[in-house]
Amino acid sequence: MSDLLEAAAAALNTPPELVRRSAAARAEATGTSVDEVLSAWAGGAPITAAAPAAPETPQEEPPVEPVTVATAPVAVMEAPTPESPPTGAPQWEPEPAEALEPVPLGSRVRTAVRVGTWTGAALGFFGFLAAAGLWAPTAIISPEDGPMVVVETRTILTGLTLVSVLFGAIVASFSRAAAAWANPATQLSNSKSSTAWWGAATGLILGLIGGAVLVGALGTPIEATEEAAATTQLPVLGTLVLMIVGGGLAGALTAALPQILGTPVALGGEDPGEVASMKQRLKGAVSIPVAGLMLLLLLVLPFAYALIRSAELSPIGAPIVAILTAAGILGFATLAGSRPQMKISLGELMVAVLAIGTVLLIILAALFYAGGGGEDEGSEGGAETVVVVAQL
């Protein structure tokens, strides 16, 4: 091989190593030996490629006879008609609410009273601060009673009554809402506006009482003059304590009233007749004292005032007032004894009270007018009074 390699290298004028690699590659490609490739390159016989192997002829298989298979008739099934989905929105059924257990009246009232007491005391404190800003220019320092304020009596009564009406509506509404927040079973079925009106009415009555107590028991009245109206000296510390304590008591009473008169929502499933009967009894228990208080304010107090000021009336003025009072009491007693089954509605009672109050005012005005003439004209004034009363 070395001789063939050198001969091929010399013939091709190529390095032997390169000739050897090229011959190996050519021999592998043509399927011959390396010596044959080198011999051909050195000037020998040309390279003949190896003949490819003849492909094998596949043997023919005998034809297979087709097998006839009996096919059973296939039942044709109709394709199912797809159901169209519902076009409406899915109906959402809310979960049933839990049944509320009725709360006893005492528990509801205690919860509302606690809220009303603190709310009323807080409103009384802030109300005093607001009033102190208005009363500051009239403040004085007394050597005996300490700091005091001088305020017109009419201003005290009017301002305290109006503020009490507003605070009563606030306390009643807030105590009802706070009790419902603490326990949903204490919610009331009546409207919230009725609760506010009840609170305002209660505040009106308590404001009048509180103003009378503040002026009569705590203050020092100063009589009116030609240049100034009647005023009252109020001690600052005592007024503050009275407004806080009185505000707490008034708030407790104002908060308890809607719970007593209202119907809880937890009683919605109970017998309506029994619930209505219970409400009627509670309203009667509250309305009767209130009606008595109104009668006291409209009838008894004016008569008492007239008897106290009887020295300024005509000589027969005091006896006439006493006779009218006794006649009215005896007349109501006789009517009640003779017809015990007779019932009077609240509207009829209020009309009668207004009529009696109107007549009373006319009589008092006539008596005071007749009494202003002095002792010399006493008999003439008395005669005029008798004529006025006879005409009524």
Kindly list the domain boundaries of the chain, sorted by start residue: 2-41, 104-269, 274-392
pTM to 2 decimals?
0.49
- pLDDT > 90: percent of the chain: 3
Beta-carbon contacts of 132 under 8 Å, excluding residues fewer than 6 positions away, are 149, 236
Cβ-based burial of 362 (10 A; exposed 0-12, middle 13-18, buried ≥19): middle
Tokens standing for 341?
Answer: 């089954």
* Span 2-26, average pLDDT: 79
Query: What does pLDDT average to over the chain?
Result: 71
* Span 30-38, average pLDDT: 79
Most confidently predicted of 30-39, 99-108, 121-130, 336-345: 121-130
* Span 241-251, average pLDDT: 89
**Is the sign of the CA dihedral 148, 152, 153, 159 positive or negative?**
negative
* Residue 31 vs residue 67, higher pLDDT: 31
pLDDT digits (tens, 9 = 90+) for 36-68: 877 877 775 454 444 444 445 444 455 545 444
**What length is written for the chain?**
392
Instruction: Tell me: pLDDT of 318 over 80.
Output: no
* Span 318-324, average pLDDT: 69
Instruction: Tell me: pLDDT of 129 over 80.
Output: yes
**Is the sign of the CA dihedral 111, 117, 119, 122 positive or negative?**
negative
Bridge partners for 148 per DSSP:
140, 235
Q: Is 340 helix (H, G, I), strand (E, B) or coil?
A: coil
Please give the pLDDT value at position 126. 92
Cβ-based burial of 390 (10 A; exposed 0-12, middle 13-18, buried ≥19): exposed
